[in-house]
Amino acid sequence: MYKKIFYTIREHIFYGDTYLLNLTFSTPVKSSWSLEQMYHWARAPFMLLIKDAFICFSPERFVRIKDHQIEAFPMKGTADAWQCNAAQNLLESPKEKAEHAMVVDLLRNDLSRVANHVRVERFRFLEFIHRPQGDLLQTSSHIKGQLPCDWQNSIGDILWELLPAGSVSGTPKRKTSEIIQQVEHHNRGYFTGVFGYFDGESLDSGVLIRFVEKTSDGYLYKSGGGITWESCPHMEYQEMVNKIYVPLA
């Protein structure tokens, strides 16, 4: 099924409908632990538990707003940290470079719709994601812009302009989102949405990835990865599988 959908996306890329599409799947996983137990064991910058529904232990920030500055930290590009020359191979991969650059350009354009003086502060730096079965390397970037002094009065409009998150949809965003609805065979639900807090003065938010959902048949782990023209179906499938882990020792 994965390969069939992959080549359907490649056809859309060939005809210029999309340049980058984040393809996701739901994978059954087994655990004797409850969502609450998983949540209290997990460690991540952004965590959320909805009782009897799902947990999220996300490493990815959506946007942060503080002192009239809006910042985004897109994550794109993953490799097993234990592999030989993993960091060098990830940073020098033409496919990973292109995919990351497209996401950064998309988010830079998104921020430019709500902020002024938007700029890329750091481009493609490495971060570690810790897993029980071995660490992952992830490449991230840092984008910043200036909001008006009264941005709090239009926080809903700001978020609306930025959604869905570019790193979990693709580019161009609207057409790519339409293709995602056509080719994916599962309901994302809350997965790949965003969550956070706003105290009237500042906002911080995360992307709902690293996501375990409870169903009547057990647990589903939802994961995926970006597809571009340079993508290899086997490698993309393996990257998606590598992201599947329940946060237990």
Which residue in this structure is represented by tokens 């940073």? 91
* Contacts with 49 (C-beta within 8 Å, 6 or more apart), sequence order: 35, 36, 39, 55
The answer to whether the CB of 179 falls within 8 A of the CB of 13 is: no
The answer to whether the CB of 212 falls within 8 A of the CB of 219 is: yes
Q: Which candidate, 198, 163, 190, 242, places its Cα nearest to that of 55?
A: 190
Q: Rounded to a whole number, what is the distance in angstroms from the first to the last CA of the chain?
A: 31
Catalytic residue among 3, 51, 60, 178: 60
Q: Which candidate, 126, 135, 166, places its Cα nearest to that of 243?
A: 135
Active site residue 214: no
Catalytic residue among 76, 144, 222, 243: 76
Active site residue 3: no
Element (H, E) at 191: none
Q: CA-CA distance, 177 to 181, in Å (whole number)?
A: 6
Q: For residue 152, how many other CB atoms are within 10 A of its CB?
A: 17
The answer to whether the CB of 75 falls within 8 A of the CB of 140 is: yes
Q: List residues with catalytic annotation.
A: 60, 76
